[in-house]
Amino acid sequence: MLSDEQLLRYNRQILLHDFDVAGQERLLESRVLIVGLGGLGCPAALYLAAAGVGTLVLADGDAVELSNLQRQLAHGEADIGRNKAVSAAASIADINPGVTVTTLTEHLAGDALAAAVQAVDLVVDCSDNFPTRFALNRACIAAGIPMVSAAAVRSEGQLSVFDVAGGGPCYRCLYPSEGAETALSCSDSGVLAPVVGIFGALQAMEALKLLTGFGEPLRGRLLMMDLRTAEQQQLRLAARPECPDCAQQR
């Protein structure tokens, strides 16, 4: 049962008739892993914390740099040199001290990655390279949990929910080749600050939908937007029968 303080804090969400107290209670019982506390991970983490997700597990092995501050809003100048997960955890504590936060301050891989994924209800992929995304994809398939994944660079971004257990395709169904060493990076191509903010917030929205049953998640759909022109499109994604990551699970 929600306390009086929680009823007041989350009042604006509870007012939604198809969210209500039951949705808020589901959020408070949820555990979410956020991988990457950069341009996407900062807004995703802050919004999920503010909305009342009970436990957030923040994973990032990098330290805050001056060039991050243009778009990574959970960090400030005083955080330069500090681990990003630890920095973001401090910002979350200021916004909502009722959220339990665990920090993982190394790059997740192997058994540590599998264990982190198995301990949560949902993964929010805010990483910036293909090897991490492919590894996360396999770990989520093995654990039977959804992954909300986004990418943003320049003025463009894309977003989808990969949920094999829920009947959708996986990340590798979209990107079948695992040969690429890294995704197109902001450090090479540039990015406008609000672009990652918008897509990180959209990741939080998809996470809230999946955790509470509110609305219709982007399962099996890819949202693509170019914020330079405000053009957007949605593509239907189908599972690949020969996908090396998820075909056996089907």
Q: How much is the pLDDT for 180?
A: 53
Confidence of residue 177 (pLDDT cuts 50, 70, 90): confident
Q: Side-chain half-sphere of 57: how many Cα atoms within 13 Å?
A: 21
Q: Which tokens sit at 216?
A: 């219709």
Residue closest to 109 by CA, chosen among 169, 61, 64, 42? 61
Q: How much is the pLDDT for 250?
A: 66
Give dist(CA 44, CA 202) in Å, integer: 8
Q: How much is the pLDDT for 186?
A: 58
Q: What's the pTM value of the predicted model, to 2 decimals? A: 0.94
Cβ burial of 76 (10 Å; 0-12, 13-18, 19+) is: middle
Confidence of residue 187 (pLDDT cuts 50, 70, 90): low
Considering only 6-20, 172-186, 215-229, which range has the smallest mean pLDDT? 172-186
Q: What is the mean pLDDT of the chain?
A: 94
Residue closest to 38 by CA, chosen among 152, 162, 160? 152
pLDDT at 181 over 70: no
Give dist(CA 1, CA 240) in Å, integer: 43
Give dist(CA 192, CA 39) in Å, integer: 10
Confidence of residue 178 (pLDDT cuts 50, 70, 90): low
Q: What three-state secondary structure class fits 152?
A: strand
Confidence of residue 190 (pLDDT cuts 50, 70, 90): confident
**112: how many CB neighbours lie within 10 A of its CB?**
13
pLDDT at 191 over 70: yes
Q: How much is the pLDDT for 249?
A: 76
Domain 4-236: give its CATH code: 3.40.50.720
Residues of the chain above pLDDT 90, percent: 90
The bridge status of strand 31-35 relative to strand 55-59 is: parallel
Rounded to an integer, the average pLDDT of 50-79 is: 97
Helices (runs of H) and strands (runs of E) counted in the chain: 10, 8
pLDDT digits (tens, 9 = 90+) for 75-126: 999 999 999 999 999 999 999 999 999 999 999 999 999 999 999 999 999 9
